[in-house]
């Protein structure tokens, strides 16, 4: 396999582009540092959300130990030596590096380490870091340059690895007080690859060769690569590249498509373990289009000032990992179906840095049935279900508390009602993932922004049904009791609300199903829940893992709906059909 380039490299699928990304860092510029006020507000908000989650987990909703345990694990109660939060993006290598950092910090410092792995990409991670919701995460210099700073990669020596690192170090420090620690020793770049037999048949060694042959070749490319300036648009312009077809596709599926002969060209990452296992040839970036992507820990200045031992511990990884090592480690995650804690522990042991990290169960994948798989992961699943339920129930409860009074108020001011209800209806049209992403700059990552986003989703069905339910509740009877001297307030409490209860409950049920379903996306911003195995499973194209989140989530939605249907029946007043 001909590996071309060191200074040319690709990026990462740093998550989907969300709209929040554009509203993100560039808007605020150098003065966008988190103010003490904002930090204080955030801490308070987080405290409230944790308290709420904790309280909700105790609600006797069949959560059991899972919910309470999950909430307790979130509580910042781990002693007085300090606590830091390690984040990662939602792909294997990022998770693995974050786990490595976490284990190393646990072994070498007295800090309690909280993990928020699998955040939905560069934008979410970066915002979380800038806002202080996480203290560090693994990032790549080229991504810092192109995606976060929005700078054009420079060809030649001005754009080499050292110059790029120097540039992002300077800018991140000046703008946000964020520190790039020593690079880990490998780059993980975008590259273009083709199957070996195709390379041999067509004489392809470089991207320039590919440009000449591309007219009848089919490309499968990552979603983000298709969009990014340092992805296909720039590459096509630099090389005059025009494929017969371009199909955006999820990472793991691209490999399958090429292996099945349904596509000819794909974008890959330098350290992807599947490069070796799929017999692919990486084409040389002979015009030096891709910027360098050195991996390094990106850390908040405030965290470093408070805990200088972070830098000392992580410096042990400086230059310690080469691309070959990373390919091997990634392959264990990608195809060996192993989990990050075990792989990270082995990697630290190989580097002579192993501490007494907690042993993680090995995933003995082969031949295991789905039932056995679920049973082995029951503790995680119970915790995830608890988180999921707490999040959904919290959002729904807050939705009822807000939307029912609002619906009643609007019913008394009917002129204002329709515009306001329509405005609330608009929230339903915002894509869930985008809404979650909007929350990041405001509320950071974790359960609180997810709770708020889900709460917003729950409002409309409850509001609409409360308003129409009360408005249409037997107007003849209401007019009669008012004419006989019942007060408006009493008529509302004793007649209109009871009569509207079935309609309101129908709205609550709709909101509940939406909330439980949407809560699976909360994993993208580090709020946990049953979306966690779905997101990770999608990353690994591991159907079993996806199902281990999707099936319980569906069952949960069904159970919640059934429970609310029973409640609805109890609330239905007598004498009504």
Partner 1 sequence: MTELIPASAQPALEARAVAVTYAGGVRALDGVDLAVAAGETVALVGESGSGKSTLLRLFNRTVEPSAGEVLVGGEPVAGRDPVALRRGIGYVPQEGGLIPHWTVRRNVELVPRLEGWERGRRRERARAALALVGLDPESFGGRHPRALSGGQRQRVAIARALAADPPVVLLDEPFGALDALTRRALQDEFLALERRLGKTMLLVTHDLDEAFRLGHRVAVLKDGRIRQVAPPAELAARPADDYVRSLLDRRRAGGAG
Closer Cβ to partner 1, 203 or 574, answer by number: 574
Q: How far is the CB of 485 from partner 1 (least distance, A)?
A: 4
Closer Cβ to partner 1, 218 or 572, answer by number: 572
Q: Write the CB contacts of 449 (distance below 8 Å, at least 6 apart in sequence).
A: 436, 439, 440, 442, 443, 525, 527
Which of these ranges, 114-122, 241-249, 490-498, 508-516, lies near partner 1 under the rule CB under 8 A?
Answer: 490-498
| 371 contacts partner 1 (rule: CB under 8 A) | no
Closer Cβ to partner 1, 286 or 474, answer by number: 474
Q: Which of 76, 233, 319, 573 binds partner 1 (CB under 8 A)?
A: 573
Q: How far is the CB of 484 from partner 1 (least distance, A)?
A: 5
Count, residues near partner 1 per rule CB under 8 A: 21
Q: Are 529 and 454 in contact (CB under 8 A)?
A: no
- How far apart CA 322 and CA 185 sit, in angstroms, is 5
Q: Which of 40, 477, 493, 555 binds partner 1 (CB under 8 A)?
A: 477
| 483 contacts partner 1 (rule: CB under 8 A) | yes
Estimate to the nearest angstrom the gap between the alpha carbon of 252 and the chain centroid: 18
Which of these ranges, 35-43, 238-246, 311-319, 482-490, lies near partner 1 under the rule CB under 8 A?
Answer: 482-490
Q: Which of 37, 157, 215, 476 binds partner 1 (CB under 8 A)?
A: 476
Q: How many CB atoms lie within 10 A of CB 531?
A: 27
CA dist list (Å): 56 to 44, 258, 507: 18, 47, 21
Length of the chain measured in residues: 577
Give the SS3 label for residue 82. coil
Strands 190-195 and 280-283: antiparallel
Kindly provide the residue ranges of all beta strands, DSSP E only, lying in 202-321, ordered along the sequence: 218-221, 245-248, 265-269, 280-283, 295-300
Q: How far is the CB of 403 from partner 1 (least distance, A)?
A: 23
Which of these ranges, 327-335, 362-370, 397-405, 567-575, lies near partner 1 under the rule CB under 8 A?
Answer: 567-575
Q: Are 68 and 390 in contact (CB under 8 A)?
A: no
Q: How many CB atoms lie within 10 A of CB 43?
A: 13
Query: Quick one: tokens of 68?
Result: 């309470």
Q: How far is the CB of 479 from partner 1 (least distance, A)?
A: 6
| 479 contacts partner 1 (rule: CB under 8 A) | yes
Binding mask 455-474 for partner 1 (x = CB under 8 A): -------------------x
Binding mask 492-521 for partner 1 (x = CB under 8 A): ---x--xx----------------------
Which of these ranges, 277-285, 341-349, 394-402, 479-487, lies near partner 1 under the rule CB under 8 A?
Answer: 479-487
Q: How far is the CB of 404 from partner 1 (least distance, A)?
A: 19
| 571 contacts partner 1 (rule: CB under 8 A) | no
- The dihedrals phi and psi of 187, each to the nearest 5 degrees, come to -110, 150
Q: How far is the CB of 477 from partner 1 (least distance, A)?
A: 5
Binding mask 516-555 for partner 1 (x = CB under 8 A): ----------------------------------------
Q: Which of 354, 434, 481, 559 binds partner 1 (CB under 8 A)?
A: 481
Closer Cβ to partner 1, 499 or 522, answer by number: 499
Please choose, from the candidates 300, 217, 303, the residue with its C-alpha nearest in 3D space to the C-alpha of residue 265: 217
Q: How far is the CB of 368 from partner 1 (least distance, A)?
A: 55
| 570 contacts partner 1 (rule: CB under 8 A) | no
Q: How far is the CB of 471 from partner 1 (least distance, A)?
A: 16
Work out the burial of residue 503: count CB atoms within 10 Å of its CB; fewer than 13 is exposed, 13-18 middle, 19 or more buried: buried
Q: How many CB atoms lie within 10 A of CB 496?
A: 24
Closer Cβ to partner 1, 276 or 480, answer by number: 480
Q: How many CB atoms lie within 10 A of CB 204?
A: 26
| 415 contacts partner 1 (rule: CB under 8 A) | no
Q: How far is the CB of 572 from partner 1 (least distance, A)?
A: 9
The three-state DSSP-derived secondary structure of 413-457 is CHHHHHHHHHHHHHHHHCCHHHHHHHHHHHHCCCHHHHHHHHHHH
- How far apart CA 437 and CA 432 sit, in angstroms, is 9
Residues binding partner 1 (CB under 8 A): 474, 476-477, 479-487, 490, 495, 498-499, 573-577
């Amino acid at each position: 396999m001909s590996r071309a380039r060191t200074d040319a490299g690709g990026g990462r699928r740093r998550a989907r582009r969300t709209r929040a990304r554009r509203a993100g860092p560039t808007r605020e510029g150098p003065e966008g540092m988190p103010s003490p006020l904002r930090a204080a507000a955030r801490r308070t908000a987080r405290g409230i959300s944790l308290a709420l989650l904790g309280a909700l987990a105790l609600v006797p909703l069949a959560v059991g130990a899972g919910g309470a345990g999950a909430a307790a694990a979130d509580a910042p109660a781990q002693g007085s030596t300090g606590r830091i939060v390690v984040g990662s993006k939602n792909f294997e290598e990022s998770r693995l590096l974050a786990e490595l950092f976490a284990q190393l910090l646990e072994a070498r410092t007295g800090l309690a380490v909280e993990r928020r792995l699998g955040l939905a990409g560069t934008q979410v991670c970066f915002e979380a870091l800038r806002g202080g919701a996480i203290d560090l995460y693994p990032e790549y210099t080229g991504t810092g340059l192109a995606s976060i700073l929005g700078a054009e990669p420079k060809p030649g020596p001005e754009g080499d690895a050292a110059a790029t690192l120097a540039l992002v170090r300077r800018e991140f420090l000046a703008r946000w007080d964020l520190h790039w620690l020593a690079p880990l020793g490998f780059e993980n770049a975008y590259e273009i690859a083709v199957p070996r037999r195709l390379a041999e048949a067509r004489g392809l060694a470089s991207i320039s060769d590919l440009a000449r042959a591309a007219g009848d070749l089919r490309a499968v490319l990552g979603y983000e690569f298709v969009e990014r300036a340092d992805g296909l648009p720039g590459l096509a312009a630099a090389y005059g590249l025009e494929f017969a077809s371009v199909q955006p596709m999820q990472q793991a599926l691209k490999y399958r498509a090429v292996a099945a002969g349904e596509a000819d060209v794909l974008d890959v990452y330098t350290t992807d373990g599947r490069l070796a296992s799929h017999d692919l040839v990486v084409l040389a970036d002979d015009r030096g289009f891709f910027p360098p992507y050195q991996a390094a820990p990106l850390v908040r200045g405030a965290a470093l000032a408070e805990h200088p031992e972070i830098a000392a511990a992580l410096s042990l990884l400086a230059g310690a990992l080469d691309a070959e090592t990373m390919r091997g480690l990634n392959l264990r995650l990608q195809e060996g179906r192993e989990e990050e804690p075990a792989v990270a522990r082995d990697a630290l042991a190989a580097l002579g840095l192993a501490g007494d990290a907690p042993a993680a169960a090995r995933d003995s994948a082969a031949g295991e049935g789905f039932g056995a798989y679920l049973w082995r992961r029951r503790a995680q699943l119970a915790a995830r279900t608890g988180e999921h339920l707490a999040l959904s129930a919290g959002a729904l409860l807050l939705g009822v508390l807000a939307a029912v009074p609002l619906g009643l108020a609007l019913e008394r001011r009917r002129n204002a009602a329709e515009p306001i209800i329509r405005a609330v209806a608009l929230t339903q049209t915002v894509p869930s993932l985008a809404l979650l992403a909007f929350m990041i700059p405001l509320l950071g990552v974790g359960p609180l922004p997810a709770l708020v986003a889900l709460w917003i989703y729950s409002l409309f069905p409850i509001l609409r049904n409360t308003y129409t339910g009360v408005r249409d509740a037997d107007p003849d009877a209401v007019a009669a009791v008012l004419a006989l001297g019942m007060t408006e307030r009493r008529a509302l409490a004793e007649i209109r609300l009871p009569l509207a209860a079935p309609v309101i409950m129908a709205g609550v049920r709709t909101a509940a199903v939406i909330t439980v379903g949407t809560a699976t996306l909360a994993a993208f911003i580090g709020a946990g829940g049953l979306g966690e195995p779905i997101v990770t499973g999608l990353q690994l194209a591991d159907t079993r893992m996806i199902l281990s989140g999707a099936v319980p989530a569906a069952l949960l939605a069904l159970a919640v709906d059934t429970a609310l249907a029973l409640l609805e029946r109890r609330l239905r007043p007598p004498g009504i059909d």
